[in-house]
Amino acid sequence: MFYPAYVHSDLDGSASGFFPDVPGCYFAGDTLDKAFEDAKGALDAHFELLSEDNQAIPRPQAVSFHLAPGKRHPERRAVAAGRYQYG
C-alpha cells in the first residue's frame, strides 16, 4: 500500500511533513532529502506501535483524494507530495 505525504520545506532548507491518512505520524529532516528518508522510518515505526497495541493499520486514500477541492488538509502547505510503501 502507498501512503501519500504532505511535505513543507522551510527557507532554511529543512523540511517536515505528515501522512494525512495516519493520524499522529510526522517526520522531519534538516534537508528535503533527509525528511523523505525520515518519512519511511516514521511510517514503519508508527505502524509497528499500532500493531503492538493491536490497533488496525489505517488504509490510505489516493493522492487525488487529498488534493481534491474541499478535501485539503488545514495544515497543508505542501511543496511536494510523496508516496510511501508499507508492507
Q: Which residue has the higher pLDDT, 78 or 7?
A: 7
Question: Do 2 and 60 contact (CB within 8 A), yes or no?
Answer: yes
Q: Which domain holds residue 60?
A: 2-85
Say how far apart CA 55 and CA 41 lie, in whole Å. Answer: 19
pLDDT level of residue 79 (50, 70, 90 thresholds): very low
Amino acid at 18: F
pLDDT, position 76:
53
pLDDT, position 87:
57
Task: Give the CATH number of the domain where residue 62 resides.
Answer: 3.30.160.250
Domain count, the chain: 1
pTM for the model: 0.79
pLDDT, position 1:
78
Q: What are the tens digits of pLDDT across the range 2-48? A: 888 888 888 999 999 999 899 999 999 999 899 989 998 999 999 99
